[in-house]
Structure 1
Amino acid sequence: MATAPTAPRTLYDKIWDDHVVEVNDDGLALLYIDRHLIHEVTTPQAFEGLRTAGRPVRRPDCTLATVDHNVPTTSRKNFASVESFIDEPDSRAQCVIFEEHVKLFGLTYFGMKDRRQGIVHVIGPEQGFTLPGITCVCGDSHTSTHGAFGSLAFGVGTSQVEHVLATQTLMQNKSKNMRITVDGELHEGVNSKDVILHIIGVIGTAGGTGCVIEYAGSVFRNFSMEARMSVCNMSIEAGARAGMVAPDEITFAYLKGRPLVPKGEAWDRAVAFWKTLKSDEGAKFDVEVHIDAADIIPTLTWGTSPQDVVPITGSVPDPAKITDPGKRASAERSLAYMGLTPNTPMQEIKVDKVFIGSCTNSRIEDLRSAAKIVIAAGPDAKVAPGVHAMIVPGSGIIKQHAEVEGLDIVFKRAGFDWREAGCSMCLGMNPDQLAPGERCASTSNRNFEGRQGAGGRTHLLSPAMAAAAAITGKLTDVRKFLGPVAEANIASGPKLKLASAYDFMDEPQAPPPPRALDPATTSASSTALLDSAEGRSGVEKFTILKGIAAPLHMDNVDTDMIIPKQFLKTVKRSGLASALFYTLRKDPHTGKDTDFVLNRKPYDQAKILVCTGKNFGCGSSREHAPWSLNDFGIRCIIAPSFAEIFKSNSMQNGMLPVVLPVEACRALAEDAEAGLELEVDLEKEEVRRPNGQASVPFTTDSFRRHCLLNGLDDIGLTMQRNAAIEAFEAKRSAQWPWLDGFGYEGKIPVAAVKASKRTDW
Structure 2
Amino acid sequence: MGLTLYDKIYQQHLVDPDNKTAPLQYVDAHLIFEVPTAQAFDSLRRNSRPVRRTDLTLATVDHNVPTNNRSQYRNAAFFVKEPAARTQITLLEKNITEHKIKFFSMSDRRQGIVHVVGPEQGLTLPGSVIFCGDSHTPTHGAVGALALSGGTSDIEHVLATQTVLQKKYKNFRVCVEGELGPGVYSKDIILHLLGQIGTAGATGCVIEFCGSTIWNLSMEARMVLCNMSIEGGARSGLVAPDDVTFEYLKGRPLVPSGDDWEKALAYWQTLHSDVDAYWDFTVEIDAAEIVPSITWGTSPDDVIPITGRIPDPVDYDGTNPFKAAAIRRALKYMDLKPNMLAVDIKIDRVFIGSCTNSRIEDLRAAARVAKGRKVAESVYAMIVPGSGLVKQQAEKEGLDVIFKEAGFDWREAGCSMCLAMNPDVLSPGERCASTTNRNFEGRQGVGGRTHLVSPVMAVAAAIKGRMADVREFLNAENGSINVTQLTLGGEQVRSYGPVKEPISVSTSDLVDDAIPNRPTQHAKTSVEGIPKFDVLSSVAAPFDMQNINTDLIIPGEYLKTVTRTGLGSNLFRDLRYDTKTHQEIPEFILNQPPYRNSQILVCTGENFGCGSSREHAVWSLVDFGFRCVIAPSFASIFFNNCGKNGLLAIPVDDLEALKEIHANGVANREIRVDLPNQDIRDAEGRLIVKFEVDPYTKHCLINGLDDISNTLASEEKIYAFETRQKKTFPWLFNRIRKLQSPRRLGLDLPSAMDVLDW
TM range (shorter): over 0.9
Does residue 1:717 correspond to 2:710, yes or no? yes
d(CA) in 1 for partners of 2:74 and 2:583?
Answer: 41
Match in the other structure for 2:625: 633
Match in the other structure for 2:221: 227
Match in the other structure for 1:366: 362
Does residue 1:262 correspond to 2:256, yes or no? yes
d(CA) in 1 for partners of 2:113 and 2:415?
Answer: 6
Look up the SS of the partner of 1:146 in the other structure.
Answer: helix
Match in the other structure for 2:106: 112
2:555 to 564, 589, 609: 564
The answer (yes or no) to whether the contact 2:368–2:478 under 8 Å persists in 1 is no
Query: Letter of the aligned partner of 1:537 in structure 2?
Result: E
Query: Cα distance 1:706–1:581, how it changes in 2: closer, same or farther (>3 A)?
Result: same
Match in the other structure for 2:138: 144
Aligned counterparts, 1:472-511, within 5 A? 472-486=464-478, 498-502=490-494, 504-505=496-497
1:61 to 55, 79, 93: 55
Look up the SS of the partner of 1:501 in the other structure.
Answer: coil
Match in the other structure for 1:727: 720
Match in the other structure for 1:244: 238
Aligned counterparts, 1:492-531, within 5 A? 498-502=490-494, 504-505=496-497
The answer (yes or no) to whether the contact 1:547–1:606 under 8 Å persists in 2 is yes
Match in the other structure for 1:554: 545
Match in the other structure for 1:205: 199
Look up the SS of the partner of 1:122 in the other structure.
Answer: helix
The answer (yes or no) to whether the contact 1:561–1:583 under 8 Å persists in 2 is yes
Query: Letter of the aligned partner of 2:192 in structure 1?
Result: H
Aligned counterparts, 1:32-181, within 5 A? 32-181=26-175
Aligned counterparts, 1:612-691, within 5 A? 612-661=604-653, 662-691=655-684
Query: Letter of the aligned partner of 1:679 in structure 2?
Result: R
Does residue 1:467 correspond to 2:459, yes or no? yes
What is the CA-CA distance between 1:753 and the residue it aligns to? 3.9
What is the CA-CA distance between 1:497 and the residue it aligns to? 8.8
2:578 to 587, 594, 605: 587
d(CA) in 2 for partners of 1:498 and 1:124?
Answer: 21
What is the CA-CA distance between 1:751 and the residue it aligns to? 9.0
What is the CA-CA distance between 1:499 and the residue it aligns to? 4.3
d(CA) in 1 for partners of 2:739 and 2:210?
Answer: 39
Look up the SS of the partner of 2:350 in the other structure.
Answer: strand
Gaps of 5+ in 2: 483-487, 515-525, 748-758
Query: Letter of the aligned partner of 1:717 in structure 2?
Result: N
Does residue 1:298 correspond to 2:289, yes or no? no
The answer (yes or no) to whether the contact 2:554–2:616 under 8 Å persists in 1 is yes
d(CA) in 1 for partners of 2:159 and 2:232?
Answer: 28
What is the CA-CA distance between 1:689 and the residue it aligns to? 1.1
Match in the other structure for 2:523: none
Deviations 1:225-261 (A, max 9, x none): 0000000000000000000000000000000000111
What is the CA-CA distance between 1:747 and the residue it aligns to? 9.2
Query: Cα distance 1:329–1:77, how it changes in 2: closer, same or farther (>3 A)?
Result: same
Gaps of 5+ in 1: 1-6, 491-495, 515-534, 756-761
d(CA) in 1 for partners of 2:656 and 2:203?
Answer: 20
d(CA) in 2 for partners of 1:504 and 1:477?
Answer: 37
Look up the SS of the partner of 1:280 in the other structure.
Answer: coil
Match in the other structure for 1:355: 351
d(CA) in 1 for partners of 2:471 and 2:339?
Answer: 22
Match in the other structure for 1:577: 568
d(CA) in 1 for partners of 2:148 and 2:189?
Answer: 21
d(CA) in 2 for partners of 1:21 and 1:343?
Answer: 54
d(CA) in 2 for partners of 1:123 and 1:478?
Answer: 29
The answer (yes or no) to whether the contact 1:451–1:565 under 8 Å persists in 2 is yes
Q: Output the TM-score relative to the length of structure 1.
A: 0.92
d(CA) in 2 for partners of 1:264 and 1:726?
Answer: 28
2:327 to 331, 355, 361: 331
d(CA) in 2 for partners of 1:235 and 1:126?
Answer: 20
d(CA) in 2 for partners of 1:329 and 1:23?
Answer: 46
Does residue 1:605 correspond to 2:597, yes or no? yes
Number of residue-to-residue matches in the alignment = 717
Look up the SS of the partner of 1:355 in the other structure.
Answer: strand
d(CA) in 2 for partners of 1:63 and 1:336?
Answer: 45
d(CA) in 2 for partners of 1:57 and 1:587?
Answer: 44
Match in the other structure for 1:526: none
d(CA) in 2 for partners of 1:717 and 1:182?
Answer: 43
Percent identity over the alignment is: 55
What is the CA-CA distance between 1:588 and the residue it aligns to? 0.6
What is the CA-CA distance between 1:536 and the residue it aligns to? 8.0
What is the CA-CA distance between 1:750 and the residue it aligns to? 8.8
2:397 to 393, 405, 426: 405
Does residue 1:537 correspond to 2:528, yes or no? yes
What is the CA-CA distance between 1:502 and the residue it aligns to? 2.6
Query: Cα distance 1:489–1:279, how it changes in 2: closer, same or farther (>3 A)?
Result: closer
1:700 to 693, 696, 704: 693
What is the CA-CA distance between 1:742 and the residue it aligns to? 1.6
Query: Cα distance 1:214–1:272, how it changes in 2: closer, same or farther (>3 A)?
Result: same
What is the CA-CA distance between 1:24 and the residue it aligns to? 5.4
The answer (yes or no) to whether the contact 2:680–2:687 under 8 Å persists in 1 is no
Query: Letter of the aligned partner of 1:17 in structure 2?
Result: Q
Match in the other structure for 1:346: 342
Deviations 1:711-751 (A, max 9, x none): 1111111111111111111111111000001276x697999
What is the CA-CA distance between 1:498 and the residue it aligns to? 3.2
Query: Letter of the aligned partner of 2:637 in structure 1?
Result: I
Mean Cα deviation higher: 20-29 or 123-132: 20-29
Query: Letter of the aligned partner of 1:580 in structure 2?
Result: L
Query: Letter of the aligned partner of 2:697 in structure 1?
Result: R
The answer (yes or no) to whether the contact 1:20–1:29 under 8 Å persists in 2 is yes
What is the CA-CA distance between 1:193 and the residue it aligns to? 0.2
Aligned residues: CA RMSD: 2.0
The answer (yes or no) to whether the contact 1:259–1:505 under 8 Å persists in 2 is no
What is the CA-CA distance between 1:486 and the residue it aligns to? 4.6
Q: Output the TM-score relative to the length of structure 2.
A: 0.92
d(CA) in 2 for partners of 1:120 and 1:536?
Answer: 32
Deviations 1:349-384 (A, max 9, x none): 110000000000000000000000012xxx3x2110
Mean Cα deviation higher: 274-283 or 714-723: 714-723
Query: Letter of the aligned partner of 1:476 in structure 2?
Result: A
